[in-house]
Structure 1
Amino acid sequence: MSPDPVSAARGPRRVTLQARLTLIYGGLFLVAGLVLLGATYALFSQQITRTGAKVLARTEIPPGTGGTGGTGGKDAAADQSWRLTVNGTPMDPGLAEKWMRDQQATLHKAATTSLLTFGASALLVVGGAAAGFGWLVAGRVLAPLHRVTDTARRIAAAPAADRGLHERIALRGPDDEVKGLADAFDTMVERLDRSFDGQRRFVANASHELRTPLTLGRALVELAMHRPAACEHVTTLGEDLLQINSRHERLITGLLVLAGSEREIVERLPVDLADVVGHVAAQIEVEAKEAGVTVRERAGEAPTAGDALLLERLVHNLVENGIRHNLPGGGWVRVASRTRADGLVEVEVANTGPVVPAYEVPSLFEPFRRLPGDRVVTAKGAGLGLSIVRSVARAHDGDAVVRPRPGGGLVVTVTLPHSPHGPPPAGQPGE
């Protein structure tokens, strides 16, 4: 019968991890058993032969002095007899049998007691040594599994998708089950990396390509509105079209920022979040007044390191969301930065607004998600605000947390690592 072509293509049969462990532990127990057997045999033999009493001694009785034989020379052999002595002293023949039984019992008890004592000691020593050696061998054999687990945890905990998915196990060693698992894991991560990277490139390229027709459309609408012959109806329609165009531009800008924020921050510069909070509060003051919302600023020193433009976008989105998702007149937004006692820095934005159910809070970080029936002051949002906030925070090794505010509204807290460096020099981003 011809060999299986599939099996032949796989190459020679490999020694599996299970078989290797079986051989290792089987060999350890075999060696331990041989050592224990040899030690027991040596100790038992030594104890049996260690005796100082002569139990039996052969003596000759001269002819004519004892026994029943005559005086003839031919009966000399018969005139020989045995006499039991203890340390050279003759013993009464009637007590010989009892004495021998006692000596045998004493010798047997001493030998078995020594065998049990020394055998148990040898068993404990050899068993402990075998267990320790087996522990070391098992740890060495299973070390690749720990490497696979540690790599998987680092990828899962990576704040930026690019940083985690670029990592590989690249395990070297025999072609066993562990290496097969590591190779399969690397293949899966590589495919995920290509998939996510392709999605980000598509979003970025599509957003860039859409900017051109939007810019052209805005120019045509403005041209039509400013013609001398343009009637009021055309002007009104043009204003509506410009608002729609502006909304689409913000959507594209948000997609670009979201795609860029999911990448690792390679160059990190010192940034004080207090400066960012003050800059954003001044920049968004006009929009807040138009919406009838008061912005309360409390900028405390909060030095960190990262991309100043992305951090500004983070704070801007938080304050902008607080203004747009607020009460129609009379509401407020509070934005504050501080350094916490645990060494982290944070930006906290709270606002008045409608009551938000706790079960709806986790969905706020998803792109293009809105609360059902929420009341917003303006309809300029693209549904990417908090998604961008969380992506930017995680790209800077931080995180964003949202909780409902008692009485209505939200409280969003962004925590980032503290940087001991001072603010950047004049002219650098973040000023």
Structure 2
Amino acid sequence: MRGRTIRLRLTLLYAVAFFLAGAVLIALMYFYLNQSLERRPGVGAQKLVREYLVERAGRTRTPSSEELYKALLEQAEQNRRETLRAMLMWSLVCLGAVGIAAGGFGWLMAGRALHPLQRITATARRVADTSLHERIALEGPEDEIKDLADTFDAMLERLDRAFDGQRRFVANASHELRTPLTINRTLIEVALDDPDAPEYTRRLGTTLLEVNHRHERLIDGLLLLATSEQRLTQHDRADLADIARSAVTVATKAAEGAGVRITADLEAAPVVGDPLLLERLIQNLLDNAVRYNVPEHGWVSVRSRSIGDRAELTVENRGPAVPTFEVNGLFEPFRRLASSERLADSGTRGAGLGLSIVRSVAQAHGGGVCAVARPDGGLTVTVVLPVTSR
């Protein structure tokens, strides 16, 4: 019923309009009939007189003219009331029966009239879940609904071009910037390999190499973010548990160096998508969970499971307290906490794209991600993806 609210409202509108018109018609007919029926004895007067005389034949006294006229008036009034009552009852019964039939026909006609709108809604949902490349292409008469569908197609066309242009710009910019960064890294590494290089040059080279490495990570993150926001070109069967198990193995070394213990409780969670993007999603979650942790007795918990028609991956950590109003902002590009000090530094400083990439990859797979601040510090991040049977 939620999806057919307009159809129900139109049907009720048709039915109410029909009942109101029928009620007005009955009222007019009742008023006309009431005025048309004679309140005095007319053509049937002789019959009524004859019956009255026969009925009174056995009496000793002959009825007077006044009594006879009064009896005729009473009989005529009774006939008039019965006629009006019968007309009113049958009119109401017929109005109810025809009204129910009119409501059914109204429901069918409203559904037929709203069918193009249902098609527009279905296309909009598919476009929101997959890509902007699909169009409604509604065929039919040039009416308001056709105009709405054409306007929606034009809007999709403009959005598609805008997003494609944005993704191409990011991809091209990332590619063009990667070349000079690679050249800079090579030159710095060659300079550091020189045994005759002074100590201050080595220190400067190490600092520049770290800055260059961070810029490379930023460019890679931008390229991956632009790629994950496009349509998936690869749809392979994968298990979040297997991918998470591999990601935990890779992250264990950095976690041990930061004094963070990683525990995993992984149950089968089959999905369909791009395994490389899913692997990057889990790696980013683990990297953030290890990076923003406590310096002593830190921990990260990874869980995966399949619930009904969805697969869930949960990464929980012990870290600094996160204000509730700042949680949603963490998924925006280049957004960090106001107090973004990493209590357990696991390496180079991030580019601020980790959770943004997680959200883009999850949405590209038809899922979503949410985060909840833990009362004693840290976050609980849950990724939900559509599940598939093996």
- When the two structures are superposed, what TM-score results if normalisation uses the length of structure 1? 0.71
- Residue of structure 1 in register with 2:320 after alignment: 354
Report the counterpart of residue 84 of structure 2 in structure 1. Answer: 112
1:390 aligns with 2:359: yes
How much has 1:371 moved relative to structure 2?
0.7
Residue segments in structure 1 that go unaligned for 5+ positions in a row: 1-20, 58-83, 422-431
Contact 1:54 1:87 survives alignment (8 Å): no
Q: 1:68 matched to which residue of 2?
A: none
TM superposition shift of 1:36 = 7.8
CA RMSD of aligned residues (A): 3.8
Corresponding residue number in structure 2 for 1:294: 261
**Contact in 1 for aligned 2:238/2:275 (Cα 8 Å):** yes
Moved more, 368-377 or 227-236: 227-236
Specify the alignment match of 1:245 in structure 2: 212
Q: Deviations over 1:35-74 (max 9, x none)?
A: 989x99xx99xx99xxxx98649xxxxxxxxxxxxxxxxx
Residue identity opposite 2:85 in structure 1: T
Q: Counterparts of 2:81 and 2:147 in 1: how far apart (Å)?
A: 59
**Greater radius of gyration (CA):** 1
One-letter amino acid of the counterpart of residue 406, structure 1? P
CA displacement at 1:85 relative to structure 2? 4.7
Separation in structure 2 between the aligned mates of residue 286 and residue 93 of structure 1, nearest angstrom: 125
Q: Which residue of 1 aligns with 2:298?
A: 332
Structure 1's 293 and 173: CA in aligned 2 closer, same or farther, altered over 3 A? same
Matched AA of 1:311: L
**Conserved in 2, the CA contact under 8 Å of 1:319 and 1:333?**
no
Identity of aligned residues (%): 46
Q: Counterpart in 2 of 1:400? A: 369
Query: Is 1:134 paired with 2:106?
Result: yes
Q: 1:252 to 1:132 in 2, by over 3 A?
A: same
SS for the counterpart of 1:284 is helix
Kindly tell me: are residues 121 and 170 of structure 1, through their superposed partners in 2, closer, same or farther at Cα, counting changes over 3 Å?
Answer: same
Greater shift, 401-410 or 131-140, is seen at 131-140
- Mind listing any 5+ residue stretches in structure 2 that lack a counterpart? 1-10
Q: Distance in 2 between matches of 1:321 and 1:145?
A: 44
* 2:271 alignment counterpart: 304
Distance 2:95 2:242 in 1: 73
Structure 2 Cα separation of the partners of residues 152 and 223 of structure 1:
55
- Partner SS for 1:165: coil
Whole-angstrom CA distance in 2 between matches of 1:403 and 1:56: 95
1:154 Cα offset (Å): 4.8
How far apart, in 2, do the equivalents of 1:136 and 1:362 lie? 45
Answer yes or no: is 1:178 the counterpart of 2:145: yes
Q: What is aligned with 1:4? A: none
1:384 partner letter:
L
The 5 Å alignment of 1:35-74 reads 56=46
Q: Does 1:420 align with 2:389?
A: yes
Letter in 1 for 2:336: R
Structure 2 residue aligned with 1:262: 229
Instruction: Write out aligned runs for 1:268-287 (5 A).
Output: 268-287=235-254
C-alpha distance 345-111 of structure 1, shift in aligned 2 (>3 A): closer
- Deviation of 1:251 after TM superposition, in Å, equals 1.0
Q: Give the C-alpha shift of residue 106 in structure 1.
A: 4.5
**Does the CA contact (< 8 Å) of 1:277 and 1:335 recur in 2?**
no
- Assess if the C-alpha contact under 8 Å between 1:155 and 1:164 holds in 2: yes
One-letter amino acid of the structure 2 residue matched with residue 299 of structure 1: L
Amino acid at match of 1:385: G
State the alpha-carbon separation in 1 of the partners of residues 237 and 373 from structure 2: 32
Q: How far does residue 258 in structure 1 lie from its aligned partner after superposition?
A: 1.1
The answer to whether the 8 Å contact 1:317/1:386 transfers is yes
Would you say 1:345 and 2:315 are equivalent positions?
Answer: no
Residue 390 of structure 1, CA deviation: 1.3
Which structure features the higher share of helix residues? 2
Instruction: Give the aligned partner of residue 381 of structure 1.
Output: 350
